[in-house]
Amino acid sequence: MRMINYKENPEHKTAIIEINRPKQLNALNNEVITELSNKLNIIEKNSTIRSVIITGVGDKAFVAGADIKEFQNFTKERAIELSKSGKIKLFNKISHFPKPVLSAINGYALGGGLELALSTHIRVSSSSAKLGLPECSLGLIPGYSGTQKLPQVIGVNLAMEMILTSKIINAEEAYRIGLVNHVVAQKDLLDKCLKICKLFHGASPESLSSAIKSINSCYLHNGNDIESTEFGALFETDNFKEGVNAFMQKRKPNFN
Ligand code: CAA
């Protein structure tokens, strides 16, 4: 089974990518990240495509996080590598993509899922979506740029609270704090994104690319290496093992 579905909308000059692991709530494993990354490389060179929409298959999840089952037994070194290579292959690639990338958040956007949405340039959420960075409740921290990008988008104080309390918020709250640009009914999600993509036709592709580069440059300082190192170090703690075991056994963790 392909991990992503791909189609093009010629009228809007838009590529639509759907993450296709609905049974695992579209959790990001290595295959999904690699397929997404490869597809973005192709889109980048295709001049008929002016923008990209990323969404998830189904109406339950955009992406429920990095795949916990895949990384649960990683060593510190492999975890640091997971975090760093994920950023290079996907998360930072999207942030710096020379064409606008939108996320159509069609359900849970948790952990790596919210980090994926945070990497896109514009976030449109369905009214039923739930968003959060609950990694601390697994004995971890966000490892795909969430500690860097969430404060950039909603401010340090709200980001601190969201990350430290593992709080999951609804779409209305996400809109109120500026985490998402728009909230629409689930059935209107793609149409709303396509309408935004059509607005890009009024600008030159070069100006959009330069605008993205320039806007991103206001965040040139970044703590991404610190985040990856801290993320990896947590893999050596008993509490991380307890957090993951509790998730697998569908119970609350008992942290020391
Ligand atoms: N990784 C792997 N599998 C996942 C997953 C994830 N992040 N999220 C959900 N799944 C799987 C579940 O294990 C389950 O699989 P099985 O049927 O094989 O048991 C399936 O998807 C359906 O999930 P649930 O039964 O849990 O569905 P639910 O409706 O009861 O709960 C949920 C939904 C609240 C989103 C819950 O699935 C959940 O809490 N998921 C984990 C969210 C999370 O902690 N995300 C952060 C991951 S860590 C991370 O992202 C690190 C990083 O920054 C790099």
Q: Which of 49-58, 65-74, 85-94, 229-238 has the lowest mean pLDDT?
A: 229-238
The partner residues of 71 in beta bridges, in order of sequence, read none
Whole-number percent of the chain with pLDDT over 90: 91
- Is 108 close to ligand 1, i.e. is its CB under 6 Å away? yes
Give the pLDDT score at 198: 96
Q: Which of 13-17, 216-220, 231-235 has the lowest mean pLDDT?
A: 216-220
Helix 156-165 / helix 146-154 crossing angle, nearest 10 deg: 130
Report which ligand 1 atom has the smallest distance to the Cα of 141: 53
Nearest alpha-carbon partner for 200 in 191, 213, 188, 209: 209
Residue having the nearest C-alpha atom to atom 12 of ligand 1: 24
Q: Tell me how crowded residue 88 is: count the other CB atoms within 10 A of its CB.
A: 10
pTM of this prediction exceeds 0.75: yes
Q: Which of 185-194, 220-229, 232-241 has the lowest mean pLDDT?
A: 220-229
pLDDT band at 221 (very low <50, low <70, confident <90, very high): confident
Report which ligand 1 atom has the smallest distance to the Cα of 67: 1
pLDDT per residue as tens digits for the range 17-58: 999 999 999 999 999 999 999 999 999 999 999 999 999 999
Chain center to CA of 141: 15
Residue having the nearest C-alpha atom to atom 30 of ligand 1: 250
Report which ligand 1 atom has the smallest distance to the Cα of 82: 54
- Which tokens hold the place of 25? 């709530």
Q: Tell me how crowded residue 113 is: count the other CB atoms within 10 A of its CB.
A: 29
pLDDT per residue as tens digits for the range 157-208: 999 999 999 999 999 999 999 999 999 999 999 999 999 999 999 899 999 9
- Is 142 close to ligand 1, i.e. is its CB under 6 Å away? yes
135 labelled catalytic: yes
Chain center to CA of 215: 19
Give the pLDDT score at 220: 77
- Can you tell me the mean pLDDT for 48-69? 97
Exactly one of 8, 135, 173, 230 is catalytic; which is it? Answer: 135
pLDDT band at 117 (very low <50, low <70, confident <90, very high): very high
Q: Hey, is 243 helix, strand or coil?
A: helix
Element of type H or E holding 110: strand 108-110
Q: Hey, is 47 helix, strand or coil?
A: coil
Residue having the nearest C-alpha atom to atom 19 of ligand 1: 248
In the block, tokens 């899922």 appear at 113
- For the four alpha carbons of 154, 109, 103 and 235, in that order, the dihedral sign comes to positive
What separation in Å is there between the alpha carbon of 75 and the centre of ligand 1? 21
Exactly one of 18, 35, 115, 227 is catalytic; which is it? Answer: 115
206 labelled catalytic: no
Residue having the nearest C-alpha atom to atom 27 of ligand 1: 25
- Is 227 close to ligand 1, i.e. is its CB under 6 Å away? no
- Is 27 close to ligand 1, i.e. is its CB under 6 Å away? yes
Residue having the nearest C-alpha atom to atom 40 of ligand 1: 64
Q: Which residues contact 18 (CB under 8 A, 6 or more apart)?
A: 4, 5, 6, 55, 56, 57
